[in-house]
């Protein structure tokens, strides 16, 4: 690896930096020409849906409806490199464990089903028949409650529906998914507050909005196509207010790489009109302050006979809990709000002033809001702010959680959930004539607890890199080895394959970009975007190898090998024609998926009906609920913190998709050639006696065992006092498993109490 370089980057998001970074990856993956032609089909009606983020796909697509990172994801999946049996013959699993995440995936696409052979410590080729039969045998021998069926959020609606059904027919609701580590506070918080577990805005709302607010979402790296909506909004002089501890480039300025004029003139649009560097976990306090300011301004308006600030008729007709919420806000003291948010009263009031003037506001948020001990309360606090001025269920206004994986929201819609009440079990019972399990299943954190305690004995993963994505990686890796069976359906080699159970299988699958030929011809699949629109997707390139199979095929074979035959299901017929899976989905959810097959390629997608958009509140109170948080503290039950303690934020770079590391540069943050970084405030650094560029170790300040990551290089950075930041997944060993959102159990990856130690042994890389 080249020498790491740290130097501030002053280019905009998008722009020439983006064009160059994209060219580099196309060349590295050895697909410059076909890659470029392929990208023209990305996110278009009748094309394929990007395998990167879940951002909405417009009805009128741009010529290039993709972004730097979506294109990188396509290049990464469509690489010319292959990782077949020869590779595994050459390398033992023990050897591969010493490789980086980058090096593992960089071997290219997996081409053959593989079985772990303990004698040679290698993965060896196995036939599909043998693999599925052996897995079926093991699963039949196990107690169903001891098996976990994980899903990362990429698999299609069709695959996910079959997978959930398979788990339930097998006998459990142990269906954790990546959203348990991601937007679960959205599913829990929005459901309780406004009666829908998902965002309420659609793409058109952006055109009608006159204020956008961003809380903890890094648009420039993680959903760059959204920058077009932001640029349009700024052209209409719509203000954008951002709350983020870090000054993220995409939230500062953007040059549209698809605009010849902008590229030639190096013109950049300013994105945020106010940028508040809130402390990690300080959002509840910041938003409370805004609400307090609005309530005060409303009282004042009332006294002098000016128009009200609060939307009183909306509050009366549509909400519950208003008085208690007002009492809570008024009881808060500004000094405490300032301390907990890290913002000044005047900064918070400035945000409130702009909010009070706007007619239609969209509240956009991501992991900065959800991945906290009080993540669900933070989401609900944002809802409170929106309710004060009736900003839900109105054109141009609403909540916009930016979902992660391209079909993570859709998986939940078709039954991937550990919560039995969220799946239509009675319908499934009727439709397929079996008795679905009614007991609550395991979510991600509970599955980890089960693995630690030994109650969980087998793990099946539909995509993802579970062992790397979860908290407490070192402890979890150790416990993982005692699993009896691990099965990973995957496209590329990752660490979860190498921490194998007693019996371990890697089942390589087709990616969404590839043509999926079945008995009735080439198949389409479907997914759901962040804005609850269903889209069809057709593969365009030849399969990477004859050895791989489609995800629906693999799930069907596993089901057939495990379950008793059921006359109400022909897994083979489903695989022969995915349209019949969509018919089955429609039969299970008739209101949601009405005529899914007929409308699969409608430009702009098929909207899922959402009660809250029409101001129907499917909550316990029958109203939209104001929810009073328990307190301002983002981390309620940490022991007394030492003076050396900092809150660590784990982040994505601009060169990764979750645990998939595309490269070692984080252009926007000025880091080149390394991911072993600790961003620190210059004053904290001086106060604690460290210097810029020094190598340090980081330990978790936790009541139980010692957790540490060694050999991080300090980079002085513009970050609030008391906070520091570094990259996920390298820092996951620092997150205690118990350090999760109290309500949704989403690991709290954004404010981990840590201490920094002078490094015993410098390690670079
Ligand atoms: N290219 C690319 N695209 C992706 C992904 C990827 O890895 N790469 N991942 C996908 C997935 S699964 C997801 S979930 C999304 C994730 O996308 P994001 O939701 O953007 O997640 P993070 O990168 O973790 O960044 C969170 C942001 O929150 C800020 N932040 C941290 N703590 C706080 C806080 O306490 N308060 C506030 N207000 N802000 C805070 C951070 O500075 C950062 O800018 O992106 C998806 N899209
Ligand atoms: N510290 C910290 N931890 C975090 C986070 C954080 O911000 N900080 N973020 C959390 C979040 S938001 C998420 S969503 C999780 C992500 O957790 P996961 O979804 O489990 O992880 P990914 O890195 O997205 O999974 C990558 C792997 O998926 C496989 N894959 C890729 N495409 C396909 C496909 O089409 N089909 C199949 N079957 N497999 C495929 C490849 O083998 C690849 O190696 O991580 C969480 N962990
Ligand atoms: Mo995510």
SS (H, E, C) 483-509: CCEEEEEECECCHHHHCCCCEEEEEEE
Q: Tell me whether residue 442 is in a domain.
A: yes
Write down the number of H helices and E strands in the chain. Answer: 31, 33
Q: Do 418 and 394 share a structural domain?
A: no
Looking at 19, 48, 77, the residue that finishes a domain is: 77
Q: Do 413 and 516 share a structural domain?
A: yes
Ligand 1 atom 13: residue of nearest CA: 404
Band of the pLDDT at 764, cuts 50, 70, 90? very low
| 181 DSSP 8-state letter | G
Would the pLDDT of 1 be above 50? Answer: no
Ligand 2 atom 22: residue of nearest CA: 464
Segment 680-703 shows an average pLDDT of 94
Ligand 2: nearest atom to the Cα of 404: 14
Q: pLDDT tens for residues 725-753?
A: 999 999 999 999 999 999 999 999 999 99
Segment 214-226 shows an average pLDDT of 93
Would the pLDDT of 368 be above 60? Answer: yes
666: CATH: 2.40.40.20
Would the pLDDT of 72 be above 90? Answer: no
Rounded to the nearest 10 degrees, the angle between the axes of helix 15-28 and helix 32-39 is 130
Band of the pLDDT at 249, cuts 50, 70, 90? confident
Q: What are phi and psi of 148, to 5 degrees?
A: -115, 135
- Most informative mutation of 48, 70, 152, 163 for ligand 2 (most atoms within 8 A of CB): 152
Q: Do 584 and 481 share a structural domain?
A: yes
Segment 32-53 shows an average pLDDT of 79
- Asked if 748 and 741 touch (Cβ cutoff 8 Å), the reply is yes
In terms of Cβ atoms closer than 10 Å to its own Cβ (0-12, 13-18, 19+), residue 24 is middle
CA–CA dist 189, 175 (Å, integer):
20
CA–CA dist 67, 268 (Å, integer):
16
- Asked if 689 and 757 touch (Cβ cutoff 8 Å), the reply is no
- The verdict on the CB of residue 747 being under 6 Å from ligand 1 is no
- The verdict on the CB of residue 508 being under 6 Å from ligand 2 is no
CA 470 to centroid of ligand 2, rounded, Å: 10
Q: Do 132 and 231 share a structural domain?
A: no
Segment 319-324 shows an average pLDDT of 98
Query: Closest ligand to 746 CA?
Result: 2
CA 658 to centroid of ligand 2, rounded, Å: 5
- Asked if 399 and 382 touch (Cβ cutoff 8 Å), the reply is yes
- The share of the chain scoring above pLDDT 70, in percent, equals 97
Q: Do 491 and 595 share a structural domain?
A: yes
Q: For residue 36, what are the contacts with CB-CB under 8 A and spacing of at least 6?
A: 26
Gap between the terminal Cα atoms of the chain = 8
Band of the pLDDT at 501, cuts 50, 70, 90? confident
pLDDT of residue 250: 83
Look at 16 and 657; give whichever has higher pLDDT.
657
Q: Tell me whether residue 633 is in a domain.
A: no
- The verdict on the CB of residue 733 being under 6 Å from ligand 2 is no
pLDDT of residue 587: 98
**Residue 265 corresponds to which tokens in the numbers above?**
């003139």
Q: Tell me whether residue 638 is in a domain.
A: no
Which of 167-171, 251-255, 262-266, 664-668 is the most confident on average? Answer: 167-171
- The verdict on the CB of residue 511 being under 6 Å from ligand 2 is yes
Would the pLDDT of 765 be above 50? Answer: no
Would the pLDDT of 139 be above 60? Answer: yes
Identify the residue whose tokens are 């093991």: 138
- Asked if 751 and 649 touch (Cβ cutoff 8 Å), the reply is yes
Would the pLDDT of 6 be above 90? Answer: no
Q: How far is CA 559 from CA 163, 166, 169, 170, 565, in A?
A: 9, 6, 9, 8, 9
Looking at 77, 106, 129, the residue that finishes a domain is: 77
CA–CA dist 667, 662 (Å, integer):
13
Segment 509-518 shows an average pLDDT of 96
Ligand 2 atom 46: residue of nearest CA: 469
DSSP notation for 605-642: -EEPP-GGGGT---SSSSSEEP---S-S-SSTTPPPPP
Ligand 2 atom 40: residue of nearest CA: 463
Query: Closest ligand to 751 CA?
Result: 1
Q: How many CB atoms neighbour CB 673 within 10 A?
A: 16
Q: Do 690 and 543 share a structural domain?
A: no
- The verdict on the CB of residue 659 being under 6 Å from ligand 1 is no
Q: Tell me whether residue 194 is in a domain.
A: yes
512: CATH: 3.40.50.740
CA 425 to centroid of ligand 2, rounded, Å: 28
pLDDT of residue 664: 94
Segment 85-112 shows an average pLDDT of 97
Band of the pLDDT at 531, cuts 50, 70, 90? very high
Q: Tell me whether residue 360 is in a domain.
A: yes
Q: Tell me whether residue 609 is in a domain.
A: no
CA 110 to centroid of ligand 2, rounded, Å: 17
Domain that holds residue 20: 5-77
Q: How many CB atoms neighbour CB 333 within 10 A?
A: 10
- The verdict on the CB of residue 281 being under 6 Å from ligand 1 is yes
Q: What are phi and psi of 577, to 5 degrees?
A: -150, 105
Would the pLDDT of 33 be above 60? Answer: no
Segment 44-59 shows an average pLDDT of 85
- The share of the chain scoring above pLDDT 90, in percent, equals 82
373: CATH: 3.40.228.10
- The verdict on the CB of residue 328 being under 6 Å from ligand 2 is no
Q: Do 188 and 118 share a structural domain?
A: no
- Most informative mutation of 76, 186, 214, 222 for ligand 1 (most atoms within 8 A of CB): 222
Band of the pLDDT at 251, cuts 50, 70, 90? confident
Segment 403-420 shows an average pLDDT of 96
Q: Do 205 and 60 share a structural domain?
A: no
- The verdict on the CB of residue 368 being under 6 Å from ligand 1 is yes
**Of the candidate ranges 134-143, 228-237, 310-319, the one whose mean pLDDT is the lowest:** 228-237
Segment 711-738 shows an average pLDDT of 97
CA–CA dist 462, 149 (Å, integer):
8
Map 70-102 to HEC letters. Answer: HHHHHHHHCCCCEECHHHHHHCCHHHHCCCCHH
CA–CA dist 188, 439 (Å, integer):
19
Would the pLDDT of 592 be above 90? Answer: yes
For the stretch 636-641, contacts whose Cβ atoms lie closer than 8 Å and that sit 24 or more positions apart, written own/partner, are: 636/373, 636/374, 636/742, 637/373, 638/701, 638/753, 639/703, 641/701, 641/753
Looking at 77, 97, 115, the residue that finishes a domain is: 77
Segment 222-251 shows an average pLDDT of 92
Q: Do 194 and 111 share a structural domain?
A: no
- Asked if 50 and 43 touch (Cβ cutoff 8 Å), the reply is yes
CA 666 to centroid of ligand 1, rounded, Å: 14
Q: Do 295 and 383 share a structural domain?
A: yes
Would the pLDDT of 386 be above 80? Answer: yes
Band of the pLDDT at 32, cuts 50, 70, 90? low
**Of the candidate ranges 191-195, 386-390, 678-682, 758-762, the one whose mean pLDDT is the lowest:** 758-762
Q: Tell me whether residue 229 is in a domain.
A: yes
Segment 588-613 shows an average pLDDT of 94
- The verdict on the CB of residue 656 being under 6 Å from ligand 1 is yes
Q: Tell me whether residue 618 is in a domain.
A: no
pLDDT of residue 637: 62
Look at 667 and 650; give whichever has higher pLDDT.
650
Q: Do 413 and 312 share a structural domain?
A: no
Q: pLDDT tens for residues 619-650?
A: 999 999 999 999 887 566 665 678 899 999 99
Q: Do 467 and 445 share a structural domain?
A: yes
- Number of domains within the chain: 4
Segment 387-404 shows an average pLDDT of 97
């Amino acid at each position: 690896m080249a020498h790491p370089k740290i130097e501030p980057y002053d280019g905009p998001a998008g722009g020439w930096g983006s064009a160059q970074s994209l060219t580099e990856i196309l060349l590295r993956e050895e697909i410059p020409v076909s890659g470029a032609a392929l990208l023209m089909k990305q996110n278009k009606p009748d094309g394929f849906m990007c395998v990167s983020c879940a951002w909405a796909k417009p009805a009128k697509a741009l010529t290039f409806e993709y972004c730097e990172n979506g294109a990188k994801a396509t290049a990464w999946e469509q690489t010319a490199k292959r990782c077949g049996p020869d590779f595994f013959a050459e390398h033992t699993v023990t050897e591969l464990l010493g490789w980086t995440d980058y090096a593992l995936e960089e071997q290219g696409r997996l081409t053959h089903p593989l079985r772990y052979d303990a004698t040679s410590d290698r993965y060896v080729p196995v036939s599909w028949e043998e693999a599925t039969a052996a897995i079926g045998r093991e699963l039949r021998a196990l107690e169903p409650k001891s098996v976990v069926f994980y899903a990362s959020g990429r698999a299609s609606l069709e695959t996910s529906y079959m997978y959930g059904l398979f788990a339930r027919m097998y006998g459990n609701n142990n269906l954790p998914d990546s959203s348990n580590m991601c937007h679960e506070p959205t599913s829990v918080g929005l459901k309780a507050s406004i009666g829908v577990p998902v965002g309420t805005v659609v793409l058109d709302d952006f055109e009608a909005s006159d204020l956008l607010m961003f809380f903890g979402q890094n648009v420039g790296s993680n959903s760059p196509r959204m920058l077009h909506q932001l640029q349009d909004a700024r052209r209409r002089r719509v203000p954008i207010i951002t709350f983020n501890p870090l000054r993220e480039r995409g939230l500062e300025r953007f040059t549209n790489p698809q605009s010849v004029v902008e590229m030639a003139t190096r013109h950049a649009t300013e994105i945020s009109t106010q940028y508040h560097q809130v402390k990690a976990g300080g959002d509840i306090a910041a938003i409370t302050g805004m609400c307090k300011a609005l309530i005060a301004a409303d009282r004042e308006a009332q006294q002098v006979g000016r128009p009200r600030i609060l939307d009183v008729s909306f509050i009366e007709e549509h909400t519950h809990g208003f008085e208690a919420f007002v009492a809570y806000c008024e009881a808060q003291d500004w000094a405490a709000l300032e301390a907990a948010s890290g913002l000044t009263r005047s900064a918070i009031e400035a945000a409130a002033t702009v909010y009070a003037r706007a007619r239609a506001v969209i509240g956009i948020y991501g992991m900065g809001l959800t991945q906290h001990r009080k993540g669900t309360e933070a989401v609900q606090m944002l809802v409170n702010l929106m309710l004060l001025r009736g900003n839900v269920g109105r054109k141009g206004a609403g909540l916009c959680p930016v979902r992660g994986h391209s079909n993570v929201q859709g998986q939940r819609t078709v039954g991937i959930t550990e919560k039995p009440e969220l799946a239509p079990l009675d319908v499934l019972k009727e439709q397929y004539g079996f008795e679905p399990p009614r007991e609550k299943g395991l979510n991600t954190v509970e599955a980890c607890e089960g693995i630690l305690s030994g109650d969980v004995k087998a793990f099946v993963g539909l995509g993802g890199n579970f062992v790397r994505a979860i908290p407490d990686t070192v402890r979890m890796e150790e416990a993982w080895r005692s699993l009896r069976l691990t099965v990973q359906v995957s496209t590329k080699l990752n660490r979860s394959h190498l921490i194998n159970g007693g019996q371990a299988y890697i089942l390589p699958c087709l990616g969404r970009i590839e043509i999926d030929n079945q008995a009735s011809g080439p198949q389409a699949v479907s997914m759901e975007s962040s804005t609850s629109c269903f889209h069809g997707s057709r593969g365009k390139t030849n399969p990477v190898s004859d050895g791989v199979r489609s995800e629906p095929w693999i799930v069907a074979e596993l089901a057939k090998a495990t379950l008793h035959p059921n006359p109400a299901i022909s897994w083979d017929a489903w695989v022969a024609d995915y349209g019949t899976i969509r018919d089955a989905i429609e039969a299970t959810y008739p209101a949601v998926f009405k005529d899914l097959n007929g409308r699969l390629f409608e430009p702009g997608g098929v909207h899922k009906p959402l009660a809250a958009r029409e101001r129907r509140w499917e909550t316990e109170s029958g109203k939209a609920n104001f929810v009073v948080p328990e307190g301002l503290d983002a981390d309620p039950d940490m022991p007394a913190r030492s003076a050396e303690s900092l809150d660590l934020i784990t982040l994505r770079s601009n060169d990764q998709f979750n645990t998939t590391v595309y490269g070692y540069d984080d252009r926007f943050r000025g880091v080149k050639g390394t991911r072993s970084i600790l961003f620190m405030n210059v004053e904290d650094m001086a106060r604690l006696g460290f210097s810029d560029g020094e190598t340090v170790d980081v330990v978790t300040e936790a009541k139980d065992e010692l957790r540490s990551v060694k050999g991080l290089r300090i980079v002085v950075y513009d970050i609030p006092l008391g906070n520091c930041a570094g990259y996920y997944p390298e820092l996951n060993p620092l997150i205690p498993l118990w350090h999760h959102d109290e309500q949704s159990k989403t690991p709290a990856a954004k404010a981990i109490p840590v201490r920094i130690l002078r490094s015993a042994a410098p390690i670079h890389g």
